[in-house]
Structure 1
Amino acid sequence: MAPDKLHTDILDNLQTAILLVDTDLSVSYINTAAEALLDVSGNRVLGEPISQLFTEVDNDQASLLDAINNISAFTKREAHLLLSNGQTITVDCAVSPIIEHDVTTSLVMEIQPLDRLLRISREEGLLSSQQNSQTLIRGLAHEIKNPLGGLRGAAQLLAKELPSEELKDYTNIIIEEADRLSNLVDSMLGSNKLLDLQALNIHEVLERVKSLVDAETGSQIKVARDYDPSIPEIEGDKERLIQAILNIVRNAMQALMAEANPESMITLKTRTLRQFTIGTHCHRLVCRIDITDNGPGIAKAIRETIFLPMVSGRADGTGLGLSIAQSIINHHHGLIECDSEPGNTTFSIFIPLPV
């Protein structure tokens, strides 16, 4: 049973994805929002089984059949749908039966996409966590550096009073360790210099990073490139962006070299995104940089905290590289996200483009 022209016009102007499914689970109507969400053409899917549009991950169609047979509505929260194009989306799905003479004649499916909302919520949490950690670090830095300065000064004065050069070795250790701790705190704080913004091609930054990685590894790790040459110039600080991206690539490089896999590869990929939200602000055009490696992946226990200072997956790591990278990209009004599983780890950098 398909809706008439008036109802079709109304449904096609809704932002909610609407599907009408017959009792044999074939599609009798799909509105414009559903076509866009499921990436299908309405004319081609009418009369086709709904399984041709999507399947629910880790589930079957029993719930739809129950709704038909038992004349009952249901709602599924955060359902994962595998689309015909291979993409997986997260949605809220409400199913309601249409009843005539106490018999279900069709089902109405209302599908609300959650991926964007979940991502925005995750980004807001990430940005808030980054800001909170920076505030905490600045407070700790003040409390640490003041006594360190006094400690260093006292050691210098003591060294002048010591009669033996051998005894001065001990004061030199105090001075060197005080300097080391001070430098560590400065690294955690990041640079206080203002960004040197200029129009630049992001691929120049990536090529510089690639050349540094090739030099450090002796070209043992293959670095593949998948660039979109149509990306316009961004407003950025070239040296800071090189540092941020190099910190990420070096992490991947070190993970791959530890694994000693002859098929090790890092891929640098660039694309543009339209109407993309970073935090709470929607940007008309965004540059996306993906840094992907086929290494062992990031340990699940630290995936949610890898951008916080002093969090590292390596025993000899300082845990500052990713925190500094995130801070640099934040200063460019952007964000870094990470998706990791064994054999496929991707760090995605999003930087707004001037329009």
Structure 2
Amino acid sequence: MRASPILNQRLLEFLNTGVLLLDAELTIIYMNPAAEVLLEVSGKRGVGAPFFELAAESDADEKSMREAVITGHSYTKREARIQLHNQQHITLDYSVSPIAHPETRLPTLLVELQGRDRLLRISREEQLIAKQETTRSLVRGLAHEIKNPLGGIRGAAQLLARELPSLDLKEYTNIIIEEADRLRDLVDRLLGPRNIPKQEPVNIHEVLERVCQLIEVEATGQIDIRRDYDPSIPEMAGDKGQLIQALLNICRNAMQAMLENPNPLERPMLTIRTRTVRQFTIGQNRHRLVAQVDVIDNGPGIPEGIRENLFYPMVSGRADGSGLGLSISQSIINQINGIIEFTSVPQHTVFSIFLPLEAL
């Protein structure tokens, strides 16, 4: 039994794949709802518009589509970088298939669109989480190997100090003890928080206000702080103290970067923005509702050479930085099934913290 045209159109409307039909001039004559979502345009505005006005790509790609109309050859392009009509950029896989229009029989192009941004982000997050787990395992093993002999060295220095007749000589044993303690503290910081996070109701804006107070004290009026909060965000389950530490590390890094390399044209500005995101995937887990906290600064940006390893311990873009703050923050956020991501260009760096808002 042959399907009716109405049934075929309804089936297209339920597809997750974006489907477009273009005429020989590459004008859109049909688009399904999935294509509207991908191209961020309504069907009323999209139908009748030239395809490359809504989704700009290179001249070579437009030429390929026009050649497909003439030659009748299909082709596929992977991970195409598309600029939408609203200046946003997306990554798409798309296939172009020349067909005859089902009613007029005129040459048309069937274009199938698959969004790649979500899949690429999930893959990137899985790699980030795997790296973090590997790093934590390595640091735990290294900490065990370091702390055992440190304890022995410190104990031997204390025993030796008791037997020394001169106070001048005891200064040397005091140096050994102090340096052993310093190394032990460094290892403890590498390990990050060792306490199991509390699971108690936390208002993320109370946490952020506490962080802002601490930053304002440290900055001594040298930076401006702008708050852009979504008051509808519900409470989340977490450890308030650890969340303050995680967010303070990120905000402090931004503050220090702006003060050490100030923008001569603009006063240092730290913006903290909160929003909710629905149906958001972190790693392999999809969450119904997530809080997104963006920490934005107008500092110099993150050096290209350290971006891939930024969340590793001892990696820092500052000459006197310890390189532990971001590693500790990522560990804390990972413990509550969240994740930290970032984007950076000069004068605009954004650290985005995603926190699941599970039902309390």
TM-score for both structures, normalised by structure 1 = 0.95
What's the counterpart of residue 28 of structure 2?
27
SS of 1:309's equivalent? coil
The equivalences for 1:249-268 within 5 A come to: 249-261=251-263, 262-268=266-272
Residues in 1 aligned to 2:198 and 2:273: alpha-carbon distance in whole angstroms: 25
What's the counterpart of residue 350 of structure 2?
346
The one-letter code of the counterpart of 2:184 is S
The one-letter code of the counterpart of 2:301 is G
Kindly provide the CA deviation profile for residues 171-217 of structure 1, in whole angstroms up to 9, marking residues without a partner as x: 11111111100000000001221212221211111111111111111
Kindly provide the CA deviation profile for residues 265-299 of structure 1, in whole angstroms up to 9, marking residues without a partner as x: 11000000111001100000000000011111001
TM-aligned CA deviation for residue 354 of structure 1 = 2.1
The one-letter code of the counterpart of 1:328 is I
SS of 1:136's equivalent? helix
- Structure 2 residue 14 is the aligned partner of structure 1 residue 13: yes
Contact map agreement 1:68 1:104 (CA 8 A) in 2: no
What's the counterpart of residue 90 of structure 2?
89
Kindly provide the CA deviation profile for residues 13-32 of structure 1, in whole angstroms up to 9, marking residues without a partner as x: 21110101100110011011
What's the counterpart of residue 240 of structure 2?
238
Residues in 2 aligned to 1:112 and 1:94: alpha-carbon distance in whole angstroms: 9
**Which stretch of the first structure deviates more once superposed, 7-16 or 318-327?**
7-16
What's the counterpart of residue 80 of structure 2?
79
The one-letter code of the counterpart of 2:9 is T
TM-aligned CA deviation for residue 40 of structure 1 = 1.4
Contact map agreement 2:309 2:315 (CA 8 A) in 1: yes
The equivalences for 1:37-48 within 5 A come to: 37-48=38-49
Contact map agreement 1:71 1:104 (CA 8 A) in 2: no
Residues in 2 aligned to 1:58 and 1:314: alpha-carbon distance in whole angstroms: 42
TM-aligned CA deviation for residue 44 of structure 1 = 2.6
What's the counterpart of residue 278 of structure 1?
282
TM-aligned CA deviation for residue 99 of structure 1 = 4.8
CA separation of 1:90 and 1:152: change in aligned 2, threshold 3 A: same
Contact map agreement 2:254 2:299 (CA 8 A) in 1: yes
What's the counterpart of residue 182 of structure 1?
184
The equivalences for 1:44-63 within 5 A come to: 44-56=45-57, 61-63=62-64
What's the counterpart of residue 222 of structure 2?
220
**Which stretch of the first structure deviates more once superposed, 231-240 or 125-134?**
231-240
**Which stretch of the first structure deviates more once superposed, 341-350 or 81-90?**
81-90
Contact map agreement 2:193 2:332 (CA 8 A) in 1: no
Paired residues in the alignment total 351
What's the counterpart of residue 301 of structure 2?
297
Contact map agreement 1:96 1:108 (CA 8 A) in 2: yes
Residues in 1 aligned to 2:222 and 2:7: alpha-carbon distance in whole angstroms: 64
Contact map agreement 2:298 2:349 (CA 8 A) in 1: yes
What's the counterpart of residue 162 of structure 1?
164
SS of 2:37's equivalent? helix
What's the counterpart of residue 326 of structure 1?
330
Kindly provide the CA deviation profile for residues 49-97 of structure 1, in whole angstroms up to 9, marking residues without a partner as x: 1123211268651121121222221111110111122221111111111
The one-letter code of the counterpart of 1:343 is Q
The equivalences for 1:85-234 within 5 A come to: 85-99=86-100, 105-234=107-236
Residues in 1 aligned to 2:78 and 2:198: alpha-carbon distance in whole angstroms: 46
- Structure 2 residue 310 is the aligned partner of structure 1 residue 306: yes
Residues in 1 aligned to 2:19 and 2:126: alpha-carbon distance in whole angstroms: 30
CA separation of 1:179 and 1:59: change in aligned 2, threshold 3 A: farther
**Which stretch of the first structure deviates more once superposed, 268-277 or 59-68?**
59-68
Residues in 1 aligned to 2:324 and 2:127: alpha-carbon distance in whole angstroms: 19
Kindly provide the CA deviation profile for residues 281-321 of structure 1, in whole angstroms up to 9, marking residues without a partner as x: 00000000000111110011111111111111111111100
Residues in 2 aligned to 1:185 and 1:59: alpha-carbon distance in whole angstroms: 55
Contact map agreement 2:55 2:84 (CA 8 A) in 1: yes
Contact map agreement 1:268 1:292 (CA 8 A) in 2: yes
**Which stretch of the first structure deviates more once superposed, 300-309 or 104-113?**
104-113
- Aligned-residue identity in percent: 57
Residues in 1 aligned to 2:65 and 2:12: alpha-carbon distance in whole angstroms: 22
> Any stretches of 5+ residues in structure 1 without a counterpart?
none
SS of 1:345's equivalent? strand
> Any stretches of 5+ residues in structure 2 without a counterpart?
none
The one-letter code of the counterpart of 1:47 is G
Kindly provide the CA deviation profile for residues 232-266 of structure 1, in whole angstroms up to 9, marking residues without a partner as x: 11111111111100100010000100123352111
Residues in 2 aligned to 1:20 and 1:199: alpha-carbon distance in whole angstroms: 50
Residues in 1 aligned to 2:58 and 2:279: alpha-carbon distance in whole angstroms: 28
**Which stretch of the first structure deviates more once superposed, 281-290 or 256-265?**
256-265
